[in-house]
Structure 1
């Protein structure tokens, strides 16, 4: 039984006082103590006992040690399993080395169990930081009871599908987690889109770099190059090598051309007088005439540049080499060729491969005559750059050629679907690509098929263009009809003005599609528009007045905020009212209707300039308020480890009253500060909660122990049928209850309730014991009466001389068949009476003694009957009233100073004496008096006591 295990080795109060209680008990094995379990788990040589001890161990620090790398594998496995079980159950505190447990836990399922089921949020947080499975992290982010743990789990999730699951699962239960998940999804989408945006930006920057220097706007293009460099630096690391090579090439090309331009400018400025003198000398004239008639002078005949050679002969870098003071004959041709090379190099249109090659051949032929002149070096530099540009152009042309088939198929699909808006620019692009391929020196046979297919597609394109022109005219016709219908239509002017504007926008939209304008339709539409506009003029004038009123209202708002800024004392300002006024001003500004564009822009500059000044003060106060909040957070965090818990709680409450927001920041920042402050306060209050939990656990343990005692008492009272065992159990339960309530710390309601239950249990045990004792005593009395009746029957037969009517052997058998009496003394006394009665049947002397005893027992029996009547409280015959009074007085004197529980023990003793008295003459009246007294005595005093005690 439970009380035997708890009280083993201890003596009950009855044993201490010397009372002899024979309580049966069965030996039970004592539960091992925590110290014994620790010793066995750490040092036992039997693996089975060691593992069994680990399975019962509850000390987290010992389990962490056993789960270390130095332990055997089976011990480490058992310790980690037991550690997981303990961590998933409520416990008072974690050991100092609790973080080491994560080093022993390697399986993802075990970490997931810790993250889901650990009682302490710190353990769940540490497990979350070690988990890599996105699904497990998603479950923690949705279901964990701690907001900080949900945030930590979400921060470790990068999978898009899992983040979408968190967004669906968390809903509005945790807006902070929900917003972070949405933000991470947005970043993932941006990262996925980033390569395409980078390629698009690379193409734009490279295209702009290619246009640098094409139009000869050198200073403007040089400034633009700096801007392009800054833009390129932001995406250079993400650009593909092909784009980097292209941009670097175009940049170097422009810088080289720009340097050549600066050099040419400085050279032309220095040598302009020398060139003028050379043109006026006879030798120069004769040289020019010779050049004009020499066959070499017509080398450029048929070239696109030949018609302008006479105009460009003196352009470009004119550096005539000298022999003394005379120019070298024929140098003007090289100068002219250098100028042509420069124009081709800086031209925006693609280079003609054949034209450039002829120019280079002519120039290099001239260079061979004057290899060491500055003009030769200049031409050679331009020639190299032209060749580089030709190579780049050819590479681009080859790339266009590789893409031509796919783009041509795309054009055919657009024409087949009738998508002119997509087909027209694609056709123009393919035509330009063919021209680029043709002039870049690529074999014409490679593009012959493409040219043929493009020519076959041109009629279909023209057909679509004609349909567009026809469709545009039809649309314009409809617009004219709608505009003319508005002239006399009776509708509100506001609606009329809106429709007028819509029809005008539709007309402009048709113009933007590229459909040619029909002048007659335009004049018709314009005339109708003028007439509709005349009808709308009053409404437009009213709107102009409204815009003027709106302007005045905006100016008033500007004046109000400027007046406030001029008069406010920032040291004593009410920040909440100021912030509310700022919001109301913004709302009032937004509620004002439209204003004329030019005036509105000026007023908006004025308004937002004042708002920026106000916002600077609000930002400063916002920053000061947040610094103050951070200081409060730091002060509360310092109180977490404060030794005096009551003082720490009092200071925390005082700091909570100091927390206030004057100018709120972003909701995210305010939430983060409040969460940090609230978490620090919760940590302080959690210490008190932990103490209360320990007290509650102790009270629960005490209540459970008392409940078990009451339950055991109730069960014993309901089931026990043995009087002696019931009395022994009752004494032991009283002892256990006394020991359990010596240091009771239960709250008053729980303590009162459990004491009421125990009192009820104790009363039930007492009632059951009394019932069993009464039943046992009545049974014994009945057995005693049966034996006494048998004795009296034998005695009466002997007294009457009827011994022959009785068989001794039968009488002895009848005596043996009667139940055995529990009290040995009474049993022996009755057995002696029985033997005397039997002896009287067989022996005359014994019969004589029996007669003398019967004569002497007659008055004793009468006295016993009178005493029984007194004890039972029944009436006595009137003639015996005086005798009864004398007996009562005598009994009263005997009982003075005694506090018996009534007449019950004395009455039972009288009954026993009656049955043990022996033979007496038969008296029917006396027998009736005895039976009446006996019945009354047992009915009045049902609870009896065992005389053998």
Structure 2
């Protein structure tokens, strides 16, 4: 690709500024190429580096002053010319080391074309005026910085700062900083005097107000400040400082001695006071904790007596505090002893109350009331003891029991006459079985009235009435005893018959249990059996039991095994309930375990009656806890599912379908059953949830169908753009129309590209578009190249017509008749599409015609021959660099210097691309006229032109 612009030197503003290049014709493109200054374009030949080095060596070896002056002048003259090849900066410094004349060095610093030579001269000159001029006018930034660095005087620095302005910010900053330092140096004596006065004034105030510690630290601070400026201070000030310092130090030492004595005395007093306060703190701690150990108190009292008099003397605040603590400790010991006695009494009463509470018999009202009253009084006095709270709890329960007992006694007293009448009626009817329980209950009622503190007179009256009925009851009991004995004899006979009866052991055992149950029922009637009958029945029972023992033992062992199995199931269930983490539990495993435990419990056989109820209650209580947990989780899971259904139903009308689908999927993942409800309820909930989810996904199916249709339409639109691009490339020839159409198609493609297409067709579609764009781009470039070639051909023809007129003027032709034919040929040529280019070449043609008509203008035209010839040489050299064509051998150094100098200037100026396009250079060539005929230059340009027209995007050589 062609570089867009040429290297361009900035205009120099020094006294020896470069001469301006001849101005272009009106409308001509601006000249951005390299131009040498007037001093570089003089007619003298270039000085070889070997000659300069020879002069330098000769100057170093010159035998006398006259020879040194002559050689110095010649060396300076050589340095003020261009040197090829240019030596290094170190070489220039070595050359100028032998030059002693200041004027010679200043001349090199001002006029030398080599930046290195100027820098070496600047490094040696001392004239502030010359250094200021170099800091402002030198073309190299490094030389300007070096010059301003060597300046030390105020006036030249102010001159540099005023003249440089914003052209070189580095030089401006250096000059400003140097001026600031100079101003500070000038101001320093006044500041030092002011600082001396301030320090001495502060020294005189030291010790006046008695702030010795603060003043001593301030003295050190002032001493440090004085040390920093001591080298610039007069001896008079130093003497005053020493006098004031000695005065303060002497006074400070006196103060320190007095203060030390006071501190020692105060320290002793503080130590005694701290010891006293420590002892008082220990006493206070004993008082606060209620401790009064004799050993500790005696130790503290002994230590107190040993304290100095001013700390423990009577009447002092510390001594009063000591007395208060000792009195408090004495009172605490007495209170502790009283409290201990009350606690022992309360413990005894609590034990008594526990015995009364544990006794299931009727309570003695008077005794219980006395214990309760005394115990409550002690519990109120000792609220912090554990026995007090325990006593209060037992007392409340015992009082409730006494109240219930009293109510029962009152009710018994109220019902006693009626029950007594019932007893008389049953006795009169001879119904002992009904009369005996009533008599026993009336006896118990009388005992309850006596212990419950019911009125004594009424109790005595009722007791005498009951005793009057006792003989009639005993008579009926005797008759019942005779009948019971007859029944017992029959039971004895039946039991004895079983001894020899041949029956299965199971049936024999059942009969044995039935007879024993009948015997017990007879005992419950209230008529005890005689010892002879009991011995007869018992002996027969033992004999029958001996026969049934194997069966009974096997049954007992089986029931014991069943009991152990049921206890094991209960223990397993209880252990499971105690260990399970209900926050993180597998409810399906819980339900399976619950079913298995029920099945296991049902499969276990019978147990003893005394164990069966207890085990059943224990098992079903634990199972009830598990069922409560399951029921709570079942309700929670049902609530959770209903909430999920409501959330999905709310998503059916959500405008953002993608968000609705994602949320629905997330909700579906949340649907799970931990503890199922009835199958009917579960199915109903699931159907509602499934219907809501289907409604959301049906919206997506409809949108997907619409999306597919939209993708197909977008695909067809892009394919139409590809076909349109190919058709446009085949039928359009105008490059401007092609460029406009290309931009329009690109914009339409970018707009269409934002619309989605089927994924499988995207790659092929992109390839098709790239191919179409490539064909269109190739067509446009081909058209542009054709137009460019046509433009160059036309420009070449126009330039040839201009040159014909110009050559006639240069050859001083007297017959200018052919100019009419040339004008006719010019008028028949088409115009350039570039209006600026057409105006520029037309201006050249009109200038040539005007010069042919007016001799004065012809003379002015001839004056531009040399400048245009040199300009064409530069243009040809630049075109050779761009085209990559070798230049003539004699121009190799010039070509290298051109590239190196422009690279350095580009780096200094921060330019990105120092070359312009070859097209503008070619245009400048044809617009540059008149010029003398140079066949060699013409051949070089023809070769370059052919190369560039065949390769329009030539790459420049690296600079």
Normalised to the residue count of structure 1, the TM-score between the two structures is 0.26
Q: Which has the larger radius of gyration?
A: 2
Normalised to the residue count of structure 2, the TM-score between the two structures is 0.26
